């Protein structure tokens, strides 16, 4: 069984173990309930405890996490791991790789690769992506190795995307336009008044012959958000033929998750990572812009 440990800060002197785990540690009610059913699922200073156990500053609280192994078949695929510890793994996803097995990609997904990697390292093959990238989008993916880390990081990872968009864009701006399904389609989205609110902040990094390199930060995480918003203002991503992008220079959407930053779910330390543009995008920009 996997477990995480926390040191009780002075602010939680006299608090119950449940109050500390739900408050300071950010443990969900579901995880706490599951831990109470496990042998020695909750302990204080190495001794079995209950949810009502009173704590003192400096106590070491241990929470056992019920395993939830991934059902994806472990497959020996190349995997670029940028950062890793007992709770998390940050990998660089290439293009043409889906997040999960799907028709036509039963054994070449990121889930297959991560399950193999963890199994070879003697770890439980758990796979909890904190967010998803489209199949042809490249870049950093933060993956939790247990359900506690996954729940703590949900919606808490700051991301910067970079993309090559058609046309010349300078300066910066914000697109605040609701997104919903395109009528008659199951996957393709569009800007529509009755869609869900979506906010995209963009900043131009460089302008080339007929296209621009942009940086994006999102307030919301709608499906295809950057792709839909840029197409809606007449600057679709290069290679994104679903939304009107030209295939002349790239055969896939030129979108890359370039940076992530988050507070570690256990240590609370700040983790910040950067990924350079992949070769196909880097070849279209100045070496100083990647």
- The residues annotated as belonging to the active site are 134
For 30, 54, 60, 64, 221, the CA distances from 21, given in Å and listed in that order, are 12, 12, 12, 12, 28
**How far is Cα 172 from Cα 98, in angstroms, rounded to an integer?**
31
33 HSE (CA, 13 A, CB side): 3
Total count of residues recorded for the chain:
290
CA neighbor of 134 nearest in space, from 97, 171, 183: 97
Strand, helix or coil for residue 93: strand
**How far is Cα 143 from Cα 271, in angstroms, rounded to an integer?**
13
148 HSE (CA, 13 A, CB side): 27
CB atoms within 10 A of CB 104: 7
**CB of 230 within 8 A of CB of 216?**
no
For 58, 136, 219, 286, the CA distances from 240, given in Å and listed in that order, are 54, 10, 22, 21
Strands 80-84 and 138-144: unpaired
For the record, the structure tokens of 18 come out as 């449940």
Handedness of CA 96, 98, 103, 105 (dihedral sign): positive
274's CB contacts (< 8 A; 6+ apart) are 258, 259
């Amino acid at each position: 069984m996997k477990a995480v440990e926390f040191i009780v800060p002075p602010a939680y002197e006299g608090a119950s173990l449940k109050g500390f785990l739900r408050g300071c540690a950010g443990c969900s009610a579901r995880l706490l309930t599951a831990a109470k059913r496990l042998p020695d699922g909750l302990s204080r200073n190495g001794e079995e405890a209950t949810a009502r156990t009173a704590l003192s500053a400096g106590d070491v609280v241990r929470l056992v996490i019920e395993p939830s192994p991934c059902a994806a078949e472990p497959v020996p695929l190349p995997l670029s791991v940028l950062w890793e510890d007992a709770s998390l793994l940050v990998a660089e996803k290439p293009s043409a790789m889906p997040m999960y097995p799907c028709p036509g990609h039963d054994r070449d997904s990121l889930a297959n690769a991560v399950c193999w990697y963890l199994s070879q390292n003697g770890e439980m093959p758990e796979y909890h992506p904190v967010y998803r990238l489209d199949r042809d989008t490249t870049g950093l993916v933060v993956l939790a190795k247990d359900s506690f880390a996954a729940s703590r990081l949900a919606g808490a990872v700051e991301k910067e995307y970079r993309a090559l968009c058609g046309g010349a864009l300078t300066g910066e701006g914000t697109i605040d336009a609701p997104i919903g399904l395109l009528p008659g389609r199951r996957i393709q989205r569009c800007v529509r008044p009755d869609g869900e609110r979506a906010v995209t902040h963009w900043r131009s990094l460089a302008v080339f012959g007929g296209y621009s390199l942009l940086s994006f930060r999102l307030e919301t995480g709608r499906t295809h958000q950057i792709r839909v918003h840029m197409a809606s203002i007449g600057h679709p991503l290069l290679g994104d033929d679903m939304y009107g992008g030209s295939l002349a220079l790239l055969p896939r959407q030129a979108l890359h998750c370039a940076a992530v930053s988050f507070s570690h779910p256990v240590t609370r330390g700040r983790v910040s990572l950067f990924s350079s543009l992949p070769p196909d995008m880097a070849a279209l920009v100045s070496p100083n812009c990647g």
